[in-house]
Amino acid sequence: MEHRSARLTRDWRFPVVVLLPVILSLVGAAAGVLGFVLWSAQGVDAGALTRQTDLARHVIETELKRIPHDQESVTIWDDAIYNTKLAFNAAWIDTNLGTWMREYFGHDDVIVLDQDDQPIYAMSEGARADPGREAAALGDIRVLIANLRRLLTEGGADAYEKGNTPTAPNVAALRLVGGVPSLVSIAPIISDSGTIKQDPDTIFLHVSIVRLDVDYAQRLGEQYQIPDAGFDLYPDTSSGRDGLLPLTDSAGRFITFLQWTPVTPGRDLLMQTLPVIAGAFLIAGLVAALLVHQLWRKSHALEVGRADAEYRAAHDHLTGLPNRTTFEAILARTLAQRPSRDRRTSVLMLDLDRFKQVNDTLGHRAGDDLIQAVGQRLGEMLANGDTLARLGGDEFAIVHAHAPGLMAALGLSQRIVEAINKPFDIFGSEAFVGVSIGIATADLNEADAHELTRRADIALYEAKATGRNRAVVFEDSMNEFLQNRKTIEVELREALRRDDQLSVAFQPLFGRDGQIVGAEALARWVHPRLGQISPAHFIPVAEATGLISQLGAFVLRAACSMGAKWPGHTFAANISPVQLRDPTFTATVLDLLRTTGMQAQDLELEITEGILLEEASEATEALRLLRSTGIKIALDDFGTGYSSLNYLKRYPVDRIKIDRSFVSQLAPGSVSVAIVQAMVTLAHALKIEVTAEGVETHEQAEVLDALGCNIYQGFLFSAPVSPGNLEAVLRQPRSQVA
């Protein structure tokens, strides 16, 4: 399980691989858009500031032109000449040239100068002031006065009065007056009608001063919409009043700053749009996060599914053990490691005996439980480095890695056989199973997993064929001969041609009273080189090659000959499904009965359950036909095949032969007792006789007797014997076993 989670954490990289680019591109896009917006806002604001500075400059210029214009309303006026120069009238001057300028135009100071530039009247902030105290101010504007005097002596006033120039002469400028930055304008007091002629040197002058103070700045600000406008010698830009225009006089001398808070349309727009942009990116971010999350969940689920599928593909779902594929991989890996002289790898192939019966009798759940219990019991017996796998059904395999060779594998196998023979508690009943084991040990230079597996398989086959519930070590002789079907075929064909290799043995059958009632004919082959070969080896080859018809006929003839000699006894022969399907089979059997003279009712054909699975086939038809002549049909190896007890109702048979694997497990209280009991009860209900095979002990015989078994066969009574020996037994008047 660890490797599963390990694989999962490793693949956390995938979302990161997706997430990172998404986050980066989002942040990148946000930064890009923000940068662009800021950049363009700054551009807009910089342009706006330039325009505002131009405007401010223009405002100051306009103001400098406005003041002379204000003055002209009173200075170009005959009454003004009269009341200042001709008959000095202080009250009139104050009203018309002084306070009027203040109230109507907002001029801060007015000074009226006589022809010698001496102040004859002064007004300061709307009140008459002492003209004598204006000396300091006059000092500051002396140059301007001189400039105007020059214009006048050059005939400026004349030219205007005659209409030669559209504007009256005047001088206006930015100046520090008494240390205060001011707009100063000086205009001559001249005739509006042209009737009063003045010598230019005698013209009186009118001085208007507008101080660049807080009030004025406020007025300008309102009039021209310059926010926070102010004049300041020492500007402070920390407050955001970044609009700054240095004001200089005509000679270029610095006077003061005009300062204001610039209008920033760019930034204003930015402030308005920024939340919208931020919102858009937030939404985009959320959507991306959602998508990535979905993607991550999908890929995570996919990954979990994949890891799970991988695990399932490599393991058996029931036991969680490695399956065949994994077993082969592990074996190959183990063999690839360098073996040493005393450390060799063995493969153990295991096959449970009688598993099918537990499954059929107690149900599939019980079968599953049993497989799990067997898996667990096996697992507990393994050493570190060994691998247990379930190859399927009731087959297991063990890689016994780097053990000290064959003896270790044999020892382990023996312990396994003993352990599996101990009862399993399944749903409260005791279940007995056995195990057959094939062992193959790798040669020093062996590295072929397939070859090793094949050898263990052959050994397993041998273990099953020679009685089950045992371990058999692979030997080369098995390989050479048994695995080469071609050789068997050739040699069996040869044996069938001759009369010195094949024979028929008879195993006596006994009734409840201990009387011999007949015998089962069994094929025997004594090979000149290999000695006795088990039918379990050559019958399958005979079936596969079609030689079974000939071999079967040979055995049948022996059985019929014996039957003809001993009428009233039952002689049984094993019939392979291949024989049954042979269309000439029925004729062969009936011919043999006729030629030997055996009674049909003395002949019993032993078939396997498998044949009954076939729906109305040639084989089942042949059986029906043969049975109609009085020949008996027996179901051999009952309980080991695929059919269930239900088939007995569908296909009429005369006998069942309970397989010896059940009989060998018969002990009071075991599951096998219940199974055999069920078989006997059902068979008897259907008027079917029951034979017990492989009876080896008195205890088994007693249990079978109690269960009502009809016929007994087994080593306890007699092994298969030669025809001569059989006849010797038959001849004894009351042959019987103690």
247 strand-pairing partners? 256
Q: Closest approach of Cβ 407 to ligand C2E, in Å?
A: 27
Residue 126 site contact among Ca ion, ligand C2E, none (CB < 5 to 8 Å, cut-off depends on kind): none
Nearer to ligand C2E, 70 or 636 (CB): 636
Q: Closest approach of Cβ 661 to ligand C2E, in Å?
A: 9
Q: Closest approach of Cβ 720 to Ca ion, in Å?
A: 11
Task: Give dist(CA 459, CA 436) in Å, integer.
Answer: 9
Q: Closest approach of Cβ 512 to Ca ion, in Å?
A: 20
Among the listed residues 372, 469, 429, the one whose alpha carbon sits nearest the alpha carbon of residue 670: 429
Residues 610-649 as x/- pattern, contact with ligand C2E by CB under 6 A: --------------------------xx------------
Nearer to ligand C2E, 109 or 636 (CB): 636
CB-side neighbour CA atoms (13 Å) of 386: 19
Task: Give dist(CA 332, CA 322) in Å, integer.
Answer: 14
Q: Closest approach of Cβ 534 to ligand C2E, in Å?
A: 5
Of the listed pieces 205-213, 502-510, 530-538, 629-637, which binds Ca ion according to CB under 5 A?
Answer: 629-637
Within 10 angstroms of residue 256's Cβ, the number of other Cβ atoms is 21
Given candidates 606, 640, 680, 713, which one binds Ca ion under the rule CB under 5 A? 606
155 Cβ neighbours under 8 A, 6+ residues apart: 200
Task: Give dist(CA 539, CA 486) in Å, integer.
Answer: 14
Nearer to ligand C2E, 555 or 603 (CB): 555
235 touching ligand C2E, by CB under 6 A: no
574 touching Ca ion, by CB under 5 A: yes
Nearer to ligand C2E, 375 or 714 (CB): 714
Among the listed residues 16, 14, 20, 27, the one whose alpha carbon sits nearest the alpha carbon of residue 284: 27
Q: Closest approach of Cβ 553 to ligand C2E, in Å?
A: 10
Residue 696 site contact among ligand C2E, Ca ion, none (CB < 5 to 8 Å, cut-off depends on kind): ligand C2E
Given a contact cutoff of 8 angstroms between Cβ atoms, the answer to whether 403 and 411 are in contact is no
Of the listed pieces 231-239, 292-300, 631-639, 722-730, which binds Ca ion according to CB under 5 A?
Answer: 631-639
549 touching ligand C2E, by CB under 6 A: no
Nearer to ligand C2E, 138 or 709 (CB): 709
Task: Give dist(CA 161, CA 169) in Å, integer.
Answer: 10
576 touching ligand C2E, by CB under 6 A: yes
Among the listed residues 586, 650, 583, 640, the one whose alpha carbon sits nearest the alpha carbon of residue 613: 650
Nearer to Ca ion, 230 or 639 (CB): 639
Nearer to ligand C2E, 331 or 578 (CB): 578
Residue 522 site contact among Ca ion, ligand C2E, none (CB < 5 to 8 Å, cut-off depends on kind): ligand C2E
User: Are β-strands 254-260 and 243-248 bridged in parallel, bridged antiparallel, or unpaired?
Assistant: antiparallel
Of the listed pieces 106-114, 252-260, 567-575, 642-650, which binds Ca ion according to CB under 5 A?
Answer: 567-575
Given candidates 394, 636, 666, 726, which one binds Ca ion under the rule CB under 5 A? 636
254 touching ligand C2E, by CB under 6 A: no
Nearer to ligand C2E, 441 or 507 (CB): 507
Beta strands in 164-234 (DSSP E): 171-177, 180-188, 205-211, 230-232
672 Cβ neighbours under 8 A, 6+ residues apart: 354, 357, 432, 662, 665, 666
Given candidates 74, 557, 637, 664, which one binds Ca ion under the rule CB under 5 A? 637
Cα 166–chain centre separation: 93
Given candidates 339, 434, 518, 552, which one binds ligand C2E under the rule CB under 6 A? 552
Q: List the interface residues with ligand C2E, window 639-698 (CB under 6 A).
A: 660, 693-696
Among the listed residues 341, 351, 324, 350, the one whose alpha carbon sits nearest the alpha carbon of residue 442: 341
First to last CA, the chain: 61
334 touching ligand C2E, by CB under 6 A: no
Given strand 344-353, what is the order of strands in its sheet? 387-392, 395-403, 344-353, 434-441, 471-473
Given a contact cutoff of 8 angstroms between Cβ atoms, the answer to whether 589 and 630 are in contact is no
Residue 552 site contact among ligand C2E, Ca ion, none (CB < 5 to 8 Å, cut-off depends on kind): ligand C2E
Of the listed pieces 191-199, 309-317, 384-392, 572-580, which binds ligand C2E according to CB under 6 A?
Answer: 572-580
Among the listed residues 635, 696, 688, 689, the one whose alpha carbon sits nearest the alpha carbon of residue 663: 696
Of the listed pieces 13-21, 188-196, 583-591, 599-607, which binds Ca ion according to CB under 5 A?
Answer: 599-607
Given a contact cutoff of 8 angstroms between Cβ atoms, the answer to whether 688 and 648 are in contact is yes
Nearer to ligand C2E, 68 or 714 (CB): 714
Q: Closest approach of Cβ 574 to Ca ion, in Å?
A: 5
Q: Closest approach of Cβ 532 to ligand C2E, in Å?
A: 9
Task: Give dist(CA 503, CA 508) in Å, integer.
Answer: 16
Nearer to ligand C2E, 32 or 511 (CB): 511
Task: Give dist(CA 71, CA 486) in Å, integer.
Answer: 140
Given candidates 535, 654, 667, 721, which one binds ligand C2E under the rule CB under 6 A? 535
Q: Closest approach of Cβ 482 to ligand C2E, in Å?
A: 14
Q: List the interface residues with Ca ion, window 669-698 (CB under 5 A).
A: 693
Among the listed residues 379, 392, 385, the one whose alpha carbon sits nearest the alpha carbon of residue 317: 392
Q: Which helix (H) or strand (E) covers residue 432, if one does?
A: none
Among the listed residues 424, 329, 442, the one whose alpha carbon sits nearest the alpha carbon of residue 378: 424
Given candidates 110, 171, 187, 539, which one binds ligand C2E under the rule CB under 6 A? 539
Task: Give dist(CA 163, CA 144) in Å, integer.
Answer: 24
Q: Closest approach of Cβ 639 to ligand C2E, in Å?
A: 12
Per-residue exposure over 74-109, b if at least 16 CB sit within 10 Å of its own CB, e if not: bbbbbebbbbbbeeeeeebbbebbbbbbbeebebbb
Q: What one-character-per-residue DSSP string does 137-176 give?
A: HHHHTHHHHHHHHHHHHTTHHHHHHTTSSSS---EEEEEE
Report the length, in residues, of the chain: 738
- Residues that bind Ca ion (rule: CB under 5 A) add up to a total of 5
Q: Closest approach of Cβ 704 to ligand C2E, in Å?
A: 12
536 touching ligand C2E, by CB under 6 A: yes
Phi and psi dihedrals of 323, rounded to 5? -95, -170
Of the listed pieces 528-536, 587-595, 615-623, 669-677, which binds ligand C2E according to CB under 6 A?
Answer: 528-536
Given candidates 185, 359, 413, 507, which one binds ligand C2E under the rule CB under 6 A? 507
Of the listed pieces 399-407, 454-462, 619-627, 707-715, which binds ligand C2E according to CB under 6 A?
Answer: 707-715
Residue 523 site contact among Ca ion, ligand C2E, none (CB < 5 to 8 Å, cut-off depends on kind): ligand C2E
AA letter at 59: V
Q: List the interface residues with ligand C2E, window 439-478 (CB under 6 A).
A: 467
Q: Closest approach of Cβ 462 to ligand C2E, in Å?
A: 12
Q: Closest approach of Cβ 718 to ligand C2E, in Å?
A: 8
Nearer to Ca ion, 70 or 693 (CB): 693
Among the listed residues 240, 246, 288, 275, the one whose alpha carbon sits nearest the alpha carbon of residue 260: 240
Residues lying near Ca ion in the complex (CB under 5 A) are found at 574, 606, 636-637, 693
Residues lying near ligand C2E in the complex (CB under 6 A) are found at 467, 507, 522-523, 534-536, 539, 552, 555, 574-576, 606, 636-637, 660, 693-696, 713-715, 720
